[in-house]
Amino acid sequence: MKNNKIAVIAAGRSPIGKIPGVLNHISETDLLAKIIQAVCKGYENSIDEAVLGSGFPVERDNLCRKALLGAGLSPDISCSTVSKTCASSDEALLIAVSKIRTGKAKAVLVCGSEKTSNSPYILHFMKQNVKRHLKNQLPSLQDIQAHILENDMTYICEYLAKHYHISRKAQDAFTLKSMQKALAARALFSEEIIPISYEDGGRQYTANEDELLCSEKTKEEIQNAAPMFLQDGTLTQYNSAAICECAAAMLIMDSTEAARRKITPLAYIVDTDCMGVPREQMGHAMAACANKILQNNGLGKRDIDLYEINESFAAQAIFTARTLGLDMERVNVNGGNLALGYPIGVTGLRMQISLIYEMRRRGACIGLSVICAGGNMANASIYINEP
């Protein structure tokens, strides 16, 4: 493995909110500022740069800068906002790691934010799909197969399910298992969650846990759900992760600097990487990226103690795990996005924060997180937990 590891000094996230839900009335700038304040407490004067990943930021004028100043941090800190759809916060992490490894910075704040309840683009997309569903105007796989675009993840996953024989039954079973694991781990998430309190219109709002976990779904509800995207499809409102909102932050530091300052890290980043695949391999990007980062670090699949595999859709997660030949007892051990919700661009950072805290609880040595991105791309990161 790479010997120039990077220390994770602090990390946390907001609860994941439904749409509409308890986070509906707080702006994305204020939500992210609260997370930045909490994660950076005690390290405010140590940060050289900040990088935010957001798939569809409502605030177009460098959300990272506005939130950082709103959190009361120094205006001397350079801020950037990047977008790579679902892998936006992962790309922010890759940039931050590169800054430290090239000596441009010693400590970088990495953020992720998605405030979908305030996003006209996302809300329009969601409403259009619901209308097609209600009017029974969904296309068939044959209708769209030749015209699937690189960012049509719903159709790509329907294609994967059809051509790689991932049954509706298997997808629903995977979904139910994810929900059961997340419910069992509900109390554990409090370790990584930063409670959010705010006032709007004279009313006080408080969020301290992931909202979807408050509405448990039964096996019958999951199995009886109608197809959401294709008439002859297998993807439903349950085996497809619900679009949600969240903000997260992670402070990373040059490991030599952390040791000099006698800081005990939460974990170390070994490597982070990304790649794309051609159209004829659509749906394969996560598996390919996981293999790439493992090979580049001289690791085998069995060397990884815990995996976080993106659950944007059960079909995509199943396909990736099958392609890699993973032991499912090591995959998404506390459930995944099917249970917790899918805050698009912040999802990857949320997964990695959850991975770090679970590695610490179990004393696991090595963890890997991988997420797909629109355009047949993926990002992956490897973490190590050292005593």
Report yes or no: 154 and 312 within 8 Å, Cβ to Cβ. Answer: no
Residue 145, class by beta-carbon neighbours within 10 Å (0-12 exposed, 13-18 middle, 19+ buried)?
middle
In what helix (H) or strand (E) does residue 366 lie, and over which residues does it extend? Answer: strand 366-373
Mean pLDDT of 28-35: 97
Give the pLDDT confidence of 147-180 residue by residue, as tens digits: 777 778 889 999 999 999 999 999 999 999 999 9
The yes-or-no verdict on residue 125 having pLDDT over 70 is: no
The two tokens of residue 126 are: 């969601």
Mean of per-residue pLDDT scores for the chain: 94
> H or E stretch including 131?
helix 120-134
pTM beyond cutoff 0.75: yes
**pLDDT average, residue stretch 231-235:** 94
Task: State the Cα–Cα distance between residues 89 and 365, nearest whole angstrom.
Answer: 24
Tell me what the mean pLDDT of segment 361-375 comes to: 96
Q: Are 372 and 317 in contact (CB under 8 A)?
A: no
Two tokens, residue 366? 């090595």
Residue 123: predicted pLDDT:
65
Residue 153 Cα distances to 235, 303, 341, 374, 376, angstroms = 11, 30, 16, 7, 9
Q: Where are the alpha helices (DSSP H) in 188-247?
A: 219-224
Please determine, for residue 320, whether its predicted confidence score (pLDDT) is greater than 70: yes
pLDDT > 90: percent of the chain: 85
For residue 140, what pLDDT is reported? 81
Which range, 48-52, 54-58, 230-234, has the best average confidence (pLDDT)? 48-52
> Which pLDDT value is given to residue 150?
73
Cis peptide before 20 (omega within 30 of 0): yes
Reply yes or no on whether the pLDDT at 378 is more than 70. Answer: yes
In this predicted structure, the answer to whether residue 248 has a pLDDT above a threshold of 70 is yes
pLDDT digits (tens, 9 = 90+) for 270-281: 999 999 999 999
Which residues are within 8 A (CB) of 130 and not within 5 positions of it... i.e. 6 or more apart? Answer: none
Within 10 angstroms of residue 260's Cβ, the number of other Cβ atoms is 10
Say yes or no to pLDDT of 135 above 60: no
What mean pLDDT is predicted for residues 244-252?
98
> What tens digit of pLDDT does each residue of 283-294 get?
999 999 999 999
pLDDT number for residue 236: 96
pLDDT (average), residues 104-126: 83
Least confident of 67-76, 78-87, 97-106, 120-129: 120-129
Tell me if residue 381 falls in helix, strand or coil.
Answer: strand
Out of 48-52, 129-133, 290-294, 339-343, least confident range = 129-133
- Quickly state the pLDDT bin for 116 (edges 50, 70, 90): confident
